Structure 1
Amino acid sequence: MRLLYLSLILSSLRIVFVYASSRENLTIKRREEQPSEGQKVSDNIPEIELPPSLTLEEFDKLTSTKLSLIEFYSPYCHHCKSFYPTWEKSYRILKSKYPMLNIDMRQVNCVENGDLCEREVIEFYPNMVLYSPVFDQDGKPTGKSKNIDTFPRTLQKNVDNIIKYLQESVAEYDEGSALPSVSKQMNVDEILRAIGGEIEKPMFVSFWQANQEQWDSVDNGGKLKFSENCADCMRTKNVWDKLSNKVVSISDTGHLMCKDFPKICEKLELHSFKDGKRSPVKYIMFLPKTVGAIRFDYNGEVDVEKMKKWVNKLYVNAAYEVVSARGVTEIMEYTKTLPHEPIPQTYPLKNKVTVLFFYDVDTLTPEDEAILPHMLRTLQDSPFNIQLYKGKHKKILENIQTMGENLINYINYDENEKYEYDKAMEIATTITTLPSIFIFKENSLIPVVYQSFAVEQMRIYEKIEEFIKRNQHPFNGELTPELVPAYFLTKNEDINEMKDSKIVIILLDLSKKDQADQELYKLSLINHEYNFLKKKHYFDQIKKAREIKQEEVEKLQAENAESSKILKTMRKEVPHLFNNDDVIFTFIDKSDKSQSKNFKYVKNWNINLNNYEVGDALVVSRDNRYIWDENLQGMKLKNDPKQLKSVLMSLLLKDGRLPRGLVGSPFGGSLNFMNYIHDFGIWGYGLIFIIIYLIATVSIKFLRKKKYRSQGIIAINNGAFLPKKD
């Protein structure tokens, strides 16, 4: 036994010695390792030695005073050693060719500084993270720093992209920087290659009602002349110049003068703005033809941040990146379980929605993937933070089942009403052939599955587009004036398809963070519970329909009916209706007075938010026509899971217990019956006027007749009267 203990001690000492030696040797080897082919440091770059790895104290001091790109690595990581020459060359180029950029590049060895890497939640290597100093309200440094960005997942880690990312970061986060525009003047060959998709990198191009001479005059201090109607052109150019630096790592930018190349602009159907009555500038993003879709027009507001967000969204989604089950957790707040307590949130919420094209590698065909460019266009038109990825790992399917099982535990908050997991219902609502589409939403246990049961169903773009639009909304998203058109329906055909869908709106005060977290927790509970109960309601209907069908078959068999009649009854389809009575859950921030005021100017918005306070809840039809703001007891509806459940289930079952109000109607209380008249608009009031007129006319004639009778006279033709005879 003693020999065994001695052997274990010697083995442990040997491991410690080997670890210490290998750490030192591998660190030295990482420094001395030769660059791989294509990454050899150029001779014209000065031999600048890399600074040593940061300690915890040095890290906090640097990142709290200067914009910094930090590489977290491990000397035992093969990818880190392969990446080292790229990092070294990028550092030398930054220091020698871009000294004006107020940004630093440093490294952290996560073996030597494990506590620091654990504090910064570094889960993989190499990991490049961007840090910025934190300033107070007066713009003075607080001595603290914050993680503001990570190197884009879909961007190849090479020298050129790292340098561009550094430029982009300075343009984005260093307000004191004044970087020159990197937008390139396009010539005929370059624009034709972009139009044909013969490019390797996305190209964002602006088309101007000007010529090159006018453009150059601006850069030389002159004035750019577009048309007399363009009073905002100089601001537009400043926006474009700033934007070019803020997207430099993911997209090239260029500009083309339509007065120099009128034929090109006409072929692109840009002649519509030649009179200057519309926007003087048009923006088009061109993608490589390998994406499957080349041209995307930007029609939004001319704003640096909004345009940058649009470009970044298109770049990420067009990559069609394949993510694993773990990868889903890296791109969003994906969860398989939720706690029975409020989740601390950071406002405004990111509210990511992930659309996953899920496939089987053994059966996938090019025809299946042809749907991706169509999905890309639908997602790009969505106003929400929605992203497109591909997935093939079977663990994702297992996670969907786990989410369904954990959902039951989450909604069992009421001791008086407990739910049980129904595997048959779970299968009925998630079963599908592959490929298919899954939609995951942050902090939600309810994945949305596009249920296809034949190959052709994944090739009907209109059906998939409808599916995405129906499920594009965040799980508990904020409703702002800009998003009203995305929540409420205006087209008649959409109203007919979703006439029974509703929107639950609660009023929050985001300035009181803890209270807001609590209100969102309650909203999450009813959101999960209603989705479960709705599925159960329709699944029970399916089972009942199947039982009736089986009884009919058995009755026909007992009567010895003809085989054809029995087969016809057996083949009778029982429809799976799970998409009816959808409810979208959202909130409005009452603490933002300007935003509440802006709702008044939204077209078709007739809800007076001044009539409601924080904690109140409203249920509104998707056509923004009907409203329910009282519970079953006639009291003001609150953001309470039990109250909202009773209201929503009453609407689902259509039991008639809830009187509906009319959005924008002046009637209420004892005059609530007038809502039925107000609902028909001018026709309703016209009809009621006619009815009142007829009643009044008949009443007057009746009273006159009664009066004449009492006076002993009778009426004859032409208004003459004769005495009454005995």
Structure 2
Amino acid sequence: MKLNRLSLLYFTASAVVANNNLMLNVNLAKRSQDLAKREEAEAPLSDSNSDASLEQIELPPTLGKDEFDAVTSKNLVLVEFYSPYCSHCKSFFPTWQKAYRIFKTKFANLNTDMRQVNCIENGDLCERESIEFYPNILLYAPVLDKDGKPTGKSKNIGSFPRTLEKTEANLVSYIQESLADYDSESASMPSASKEMSVDEILKAVSGEITKPIFVSFWQATKKQWNSVDLGGKVRFSDNCIDCLHVKQLWDKLSNKIVSLADSGHFLCSDYPKVCEKLELDSFKDAKRSSPKFIMFLPKDRKAIRFDYDGPVDVAKMKWWVNKLFVNSAYEVVSAKGITEVMEFTKTLRHEPFAQNYPLKSKVTVVFFFDVNAVTPEDEAVLPYMLRTLQKSPFNIQLYKGKHNRILENIQTMGENLISYINYDESEKYEFNEAMQIATSITQVPTIVVLKENSLIPEIYQNFALEQMRKYDEIEKFLERAQYPFIAELTPELVSAYFVDPDYALDIADAKVVIIFVDLDNLKETDEALYRLSLVAHEYNFLKKSYYFNKILEQRASKEEEVEKLKAKNAETLKIMTAMRKQVPHLFNNDDVVFTFINKPTSKNFRYVKGWRIRPDDYDVGDAIVVSKDHRYFWDTDLNNKKLRNEPKQIKSVLMSLLHKDNNMQLKFVGSPYGGLFYFMNYVHDFGIVGYLGFIVVVYALIHISMRLRRRRYRSQGIIGVNNGAFLPKKSNKD
């Protein structure tokens, strides 16, 4: 089969040479080599690759500490840390062995390896690498200097996906994917994307697949696609002028997601009806149409189709695919399992601690349920949650949890919060158990949101069965809770932190606190984020206390009203109506999210559409509070001093805004007015409409003023005539 295909390419090339197209001949020869490599990689193990030949490949010896450092500092290495006493490790050994043999057959000439570490013999090494369970499969790569040369050190750059079954095929796919990501020599690997038939597309659309598949749809024919592959003269049509570039990116991406999803391409020009049914008919008449991308999941994931609408960027698309793959598995985690997927903590130290930048800023969403009472109707909310979280630009992950210790940890976090925010000797707080219950009590199933390095969980308080069926309310809850506790504000995230008030009416009084740091100075940045963490935790506690007291007042008022009705012997219906009167749930009001801008790269914000804050006006250590609708900001404190990243100073500003005491001067984002012309800020706040209204008012005032002046002149003229009657008449001579 391989010989026939290569022969066909040879004869095709000969015919082209006869037409004096030498360049095409060279390209065809290169393409034949790529096809041969691809066929060899995709072919089942037979003949020379038989089981008998595979068994001749022996596993290398396990690594000690020195050998581990030497091997991982030179090549990309997948390492299995195991214990000979671990039953899971023993049952996994044949899989690892077979995967190693297949790997050595397929990738023998590439700079990668598979090795093992016996943690009983090398306890110091496993402790250094923070190995807490077995088998633990981690990926290591050499640390390079700024010139791209090895430094003699290595680092852990990833781990085998938790939700991916540990089979030999998946292990080999993970190595292939890692090679495409980290080894520049593998950039010429043949594309893993396969051309899809109509039947294959229909199976994907209906979820009749066993593995997720990421599909690209092209306004092209098979002839055009193959001519690009073969280096021919025919190219994509004129209305797809960027397709050639996108195809190059797609080929790279296909090799970077092989462990997570299959990849395929579908040619809509050959099958326009199929693409029309998929609502891709924009290809039909578009003057310029780019490829479309859709991820299809197996139907047991409860949601099948997800359209990718982000930029055509390999890193961003891989991140999107990985996020969907992990979240759609709906993995069940225990309280301990949560600590394995994020930096979960129940306590925080009263000192800065070293962090790894850029921050991962993970947010973990847990669908919490009672295993003895949960129903399929309860879990019907999961695909809705999945779609909402997939739209989020943040590092957010979805799990299921059934361990009661998760709720116990929330109680512990609330208690430990008090000691963390008692940093000021002049103002001490006490744990309020009633408030803790009021803000965390819920029926199950419910939704719990945990954030890295935060003692503030978000809980969807479910008081009735139907509340877990209100998907629009759950979507709003997740959109509000999606923000990391503290994360870097980048130009790409501006649209996530700041919302157009015309499209989100429920963001009234929400704020964003921004501090300015220098990520080139990591020690100072750690200290700055520690101070920001203090004020973030303290404000959250004070806000809840403020609204908890309001609720107590409203409840007292309601009880008083009921007692008055009883005293008047009022009708039972009136009394019951008063007793059932809802007390508004206020804890979600006046939300504040906390973030930071890296000052050395802040010039990139000038290119963000709609962004009107000028980072050049601020220095490292400064702070600014901005309304979530990006209309107002505050960069001074109550004493009109420059706002700095100091907990007491920022707290005083936030509490003044919470109480709405009008002690803070309102400033308008992007407005050039101040001093005597401060009133013009209100005009500027309404944009073009404001200025048009201002012009109309000024014109009306001028018009009214001129009319009044004319009336006065007329009145003066009449009086003047009357006064003239008393003057002596001029003689005829005069």
- Normalising by structure 2, we get a TM-score of 0.88
Q: Does 1:606 align with 2:612?
A: yes
Q: Does 1:273 align with 2:275?
A: no
Q: Report the Cα distance in structure 1 between the residues aligned to 2:430 and 2:454, rounded to whole angstroms.
A: 19
Structure 2 partner of 1:553: 562
Q: CA deviation at 1:258?
A: 1.3
Structure 1 partner of 2:87: 78
Q: CA deviation at 1:567?
A: 3.7
Q: Report the Cα distance in structure 2 between the residues aligned to 1:700 and 1:257, rounded to whole angstroms.
A: 72
2:121 to 112, 115, 128: 112
Q: CA deviation at 1:554?
A: 3.4
Structure 2 partner of 1:664: 670
Q: Which amino acid aligns with 2:718?
A: I
Q: Report the Cα distance in structure 2 between the residues aligned to 1:277 and 1:219, rounded to whole angstroms.
A: 24
Q: Does 1:87 align with 2:89?
A: no
Question: Do 2:219 and 2:289's aligned partners in 1 also have CA atoms closer than 8 Å?
Answer: no
Question: Do 1:334 and 1:443's aligned partners in 2 also have CA atoms closer than 8 Å?
Answer: yes
2:626 to 610, 613, 620: 620
Structure 2 partner of 1:466: 476
Q: Which amino acid aligns with 2:260?
A: I
1:649-668 deviations in whole A, cap 9, x for unaligned? 11111111111011111112
> Cα–Cα, structure 1 residues 697 and 152, in superposed 2: closer, same or farther, change >3 Å?
closer
Structure 2 partner of 1:347: 357
Structure 1 partner of 2:154: 145
> Cα–Cα, structure 1 residues 559 and 348, in superposed 2: closer, same or farther, change >3 Å?
same
Q: CA deviation at 1:44?
A: 4.7
Q: Does 1:288 align with 2:288?
A: no
For residues 238-317 of structure 1, what are the structure 2 equivalents within 5 Å?
238-317=248-327
| Partner-residue secondary structure (3-state), 1:333 | coil
Question: Do 1:226 and 1:280's aligned partners in 2 also have CA atoms closer than 8 Å?
Answer: no
| Partner-residue secondary structure (3-state), 1:193 | helix
| Partner-residue secondary structure (3-state), 1:452 | coil
Q: Which amino acid aligns with 2:354?
A: P
Q: Report the Cα distance in structure 2 between the residues aligned to 1:368 and 1:312, rounded to whole angstroms.
A: 26
| Partner-residue secondary structure (3-state), 2:373 | coil
> Cα–Cα, structure 1 residues 567 and 285, in superposed 2: closer, same or farther, change >3 Å?
closer
Q: CA deviation at 1:278?
A: 3.9
Q: Report the Cα distance in structure 1 between the residues aligned to 2:412 and 2:284, rounded to whole angstroms.
A: 58
Structure 1 partner of 2:376: 366
> Cα–Cα, structure 1 residues 682 and 164, in superposed 2: closer, same or farther, change >3 Å?
closer
> Cα–Cα, structure 1 residues 240 and 687, in superposed 2: closer, same or farther, change >3 Å?
closer
| Partner-residue secondary structure (3-state), 2:185 | coil
For residues 3-42 of structure 1, what are the structure 2 equivalents within 5 Å?
42=51
Q: Which amino acid aligns with 1:245?
A: N
Question: Do 1:620 and 1:628's aligned partners in 2 also have CA atoms closer than 8 Å?
Answer: yes
1:288-342 deviations in whole A, cap 9, x for unaligned? 0111111111111111111111110110001000011011111111111111111
Q: Report the Cα distance in structure 1 between the residues aligned to 2:471 and 2:244, rounded to whole angstroms.
A: 42
For residues 369-384 of structure 1, what are the structure 2 equivalents within 5 Å?
369-384=379-394
Structure 2 partner of 1:653: 659
Q: Does 1:180 align with 2:190?
A: yes
Q: Which amino acid aligns with 2:299?
A: K
Q: Which amino acid aligns with 1:371?
A: V
Q: Report the Cα distance in structure 1 between the residues aligned to 2:408 and 2:247, rounded to whole angstroms.
A: 51
Q: CA deviation at 1:212?
A: 1.6
Structure 1 partner of 2:402: 392
Question: Do 1:214 and 1:223's aligned partners in 2 also have CA atoms closer than 8 Å?
Answer: no
For residues 472-491 of structure 1, what are the structure 2 equivalents within 5 Å?
472-491=482-501
Q: Report the Cα distance in structure 1 between the residues aligned to 2:51 and 2:284, rounded to whole angstroms.
A: 48
| Partner-residue secondary structure (3-state), 1:414 | coil
Q: Does 1:676 align with 2:682?
A: yes
1:163 to 167, 172, 175: 172
Structure 2 unpaired stretches of 5+: 1-49, 728-734
> Cα–Cα, structure 1 residues 135 and 679, in superposed 2: closer, same or farther, change >3 Å?
closer
> How many residues matched?
677
Q: CA deviation at 1:529?
A: 0.7
2:412 to 379, 384, 402: 402
For residues 420-499 of structure 1, what are the structure 2 equivalents within 5 Å?
420-494=430-504, 496-499=505-508
Q: Report the Cα distance in structure 1 between the residues aligned to 2:382 and 2:575, rounded to whole angstroms.
A: 43
Structure 1 unpaired stretches of 5+: 1-40
Question: Do 1:167 and 1:248's aligned partners in 2 also have CA atoms closer than 8 Å?
Answer: yes
> Cα–Cα, structure 1 residues 716 and 561, in superposed 2: closer, same or farther, change >3 Å?
same
> Cα–Cα, structure 1 residues 189 and 667, in superposed 2: closer, same or farther, change >3 Å?
same
Q: Report the Cα distance in structure 2 between the residues aligned to 1:600 and 1:474, rounded to whole angstroms.
A: 24
Question: Do 1:361 and 1:392's aligned partners in 2 also have CA atoms closer than 8 Å?
Answer: yes
Larger mean Cα displacement after TM superposition, 50-59 or 600-609 = 600-609
Q: Report the Cα distance in structure 1 between the residues aligned to 2:561 and 2:716, rounded to whole angstroms.
A: 71
Q: Which amino acid aligns with 1:527?
A: A
Structure 2 partner of 1:19: none
Q: Report the Cα distance in structure 1 between the residues aligned to 2:384 and 2:704, rounded to whole angstroms.
A: 65
Q: CA deviation at 1:440?
A: 0.7
Q: Report the Cα distance in structure 2 between the residues aligned to 1:311 and 1:114, rounded to whole angstroms.
A: 36
Structure 2 partner of 1:97: 106
Structure 1 partner of 2:65: 56
Q: CA deviation at 1:148?
A: 0.6
Question: Do 1:715 and 1:722's aligned partners in 2 also have CA atoms closer than 8 Å?
Answer: no
* Percent identity (aligned): 63
Q: Report the Cα distance in structure 2 between the residues aligned to 1:154 and 1:611, rounded to whole angstroms.
A: 47
RMSD over aligned Cα atoms: 2.2
Q: CA deviation at 1:53?
A: 1.0
